[in-house]
Amino acid sequence: MNKPIIAALLLAALAADPLAVGAQSNSTYKIGVTYPLTGPLALNSAAVLAGADIAVADINKAGGINGHPVALAIEDSQGTPQGGISAMRKLVDVDGVQAILTIFTNVVTAQMPLADQLKIPMLSTVETSGLVSKSQYSFAHSQAIAQEAPLLQAYWKGAGYKRIFAFYGNNAYGQNVAVPIKAAAQAAGVEAYDESFFDMSATDFRGVVARAKDFKPDAIVLCAQGSAAETTMLKQIREGGLNVQIFNPSNFFFDKGWREAAGSLADGMIFTGANVDAALPAGKNFVTVYKAKIGVEPGYQPAEAYDIIRLFAYSIGKSSYSGEAIRNVLAAVKGVPSVLGGTITMGADHYTVGTAAALWQARGNSEVKVTPPRK
């Protein structure tokens, strides 16, 4: 999806609520956003940021933050470290934002020193364990892979898998997530594990798929952050005759762009992660509003983006519209409600403590929670 299309979608979403576009007002509190609008990681941005937009609308309908309306200021990170730095500097130096929502391990890694330097807190959905702990002003609200790997381990052990082949995007996230997944495979009693790191800007993966087929795996791990490369790889895996169970340690199933690209090939895939708890009033309202806006039910990432905007609003309301003050409240957050269910507490490692991770299997247009099999 190219930049004009994604930018148009984002602007249309913001324009749907006049208060959410209050950037002209001197009293508006701006929350910065550095997300890819271009590049291989841009596929899901419009759908994810719709969750942030809903949070802005909810806050403004309730009177804003201490009477101040809230608005999103969005810059294209291009999904690259350099793009993330440029986008962040523009938001802080030109737009004057005091808090930033960002995403993707390679971008966050580059932005962390700048966040500390500028004293501007960042909240991201990165799932890379231990990353944001290295920065005073960086935090993450996500289902970290460290919480999800034990679920895979239990399933693989129960299924008696002996050979697993894994495909990872060749970036910082892929390199990081491969470590706990390999460890989970070994702990599950898998006798042979192999992996491949592929170029996420490529479109032809038949060579590495052939290598995987020769490996004769019992199961496959496919992990490329919901990118276009991920769904292309999925198609070529199936076209290559690999019909074994596929696991994905990121739950992008409810993302419209991902699901349209994957089509029926997603049926039967098992994902790890969280889903919105529609049984709760807040979750039910979020699903209703999101579905009216986007046309499909929300996945976990739009919900995390919603939570992050609410966390920033909570922190500003408890202190002031100042980066340092927001950071201090964020570090001590406890008991803030989440649309994923339960409440949000910030851990000492700067990651929120989550309990909603589970295994989900795609069946038609929905996901069903599954438990590990027993021998």
Region class of 313: left (phi > 0), else alpha (psi between -120 and 50), else beta: alpha
* Dist CA 31 CA 33 (whole Å): 7
* Dist CA 239 CA 252 (whole Å): 21
* Dist CA 339 CA 288 (whole Å): 12
286 and 54 Cβ atoms separated by less than 8 Å: yes
361 and 268 Cβ atoms separated by less than 8 Å: yes
Q: Tell me, yes or no, if the two domains 3-143+279-344 and 145-273+358-370 fold the same way.
A: yes
103: tokens are 């995403």
Mean pLDDT for each consecutive 10-residue tract of the chain (375 residues)? 48 41 61 94 89 96 96 97 98 98 95 98 89 96 80 96 97 89 96 96 95 97 92 96 94 83 95 82 90 87 94 97 98 92 91 82 90 85
* Dist CA 174 CA 195 (whole Å): 11
Beta bridge partners of 193: 164
216: tokens are 């004769």
Torsion of CA 130, 303, 253, 151, to 10 degrees: 40
pLDDT reported for residue 22: 34
- Residues comprising the chain, all counted: 375
CATH 3.40.50.2300 for domain 145-273+358-370: yes
CA distances from residue 339 to 102, 284, 343 in whole angstroms, order as listed = 19, 9, 9
On the CB side of 338, how many CA atoms lie within 13 Å of its CA? 29
Distance in Å from the first CA to the final CA of the chain: 44
Predicted confidence (pLDDT) per residue in 75-98, tens digit = 999 999 999 999 999 999 999 999
What single-letter DSSP state applies at residue 95?
S
CA distances from residue 47 to 10, 99, 282 in whole angstroms, order as listed = 9, 21, 19
Domain ranges of the chain: 3-143+279-344, 145-273+358-370
Torsion of CA 36, 69, 308, 107, to 10 degrees: 30
Tell me which CATH homologous superfamily contains domain 3-143+279-344. Answer: Response regulator (3.40.50.2300)
pLDDT reported for residue 117: 98
Query: How many helices and strands, by DSSP H and E, does the chain display?
Result: 12, 14
Strand 366-370: give its sheet, edge to edge.
192-198, 163-169, 219-223, 245-248, 270-273, 358-363, 366-370
Burial of 42 (0-12, 13-18, 19+ CB in 10 A): buried
pLDDT reported for residue 10: 52
